[in-house]
Amino acid sequence: MAHSFTVQAASYPLAAYNFRVTVGTVAMGFAEVTGLTRQFETLTYRHGLSFAEGEQIVRWRIDQYSDMTLRRGVVQGMPELRAWLESGEQRPVTVSLCDAEGTPVVSWRVQKALPVQLDAPTLQADADGAAIETLALKVAGISVETH
């Protein structure tokens, strides 16, 4: 017997293809987002009783972030994107994973993002390329929020 929509929405995992990218207040459409990585520095401490109690692992509050990459994008707000690229200012970026209705369920919030590379697509008359092939960002301050 098939599950009802409410049972599916409550128990099935979200589809990773239904997401939204927002830079500041401008929504931008991309086919792929990679690099939402936050890594913590750790230190393994061995003391005199480590043979009996085991080693202690200490986590430092030094976060490391990898570069975030947005691929194959079509941007409606091209003037805003161009202004961001030219200004060199850091802006917040939000990547929201949405449910079937398009309502955000989980969001990854990047406090500061700075564009460091923009790759244009290969221009061919018979191709169906995107307006932006790759937009690479240096990021800091990644947090996860559930709605």
Side chain identity at residue 51, one-letter code: F
Residues 6+ apart with CB under 8 A from 76: 26, 27, 28, 29
Domain boundary assignment for the chain: 13-146
Range picked from 7-21, 22-36, 118-132 for highest mean pLDDT = 22-36
20-75: pLDDT as tens digits: 899 888 888 888 999 999 888 887 877 777 777 778 778 777 888 999 999 988 76
> 13-146 belongs to which homologous superfamily?
Hcp1-like (2.30.110.20)
Backbone angles phi, psi at 62, to 5 degrees: -105, 105
**6-11 average pLDDT score:** 59
Strands (E), the chain: 19-23, 26-34, 38-45, 56-65, 68-74, 91-98, 104-119, 132-146
| Residue 60 contacts residue 40 (beta carbons within 8 Å) | yes
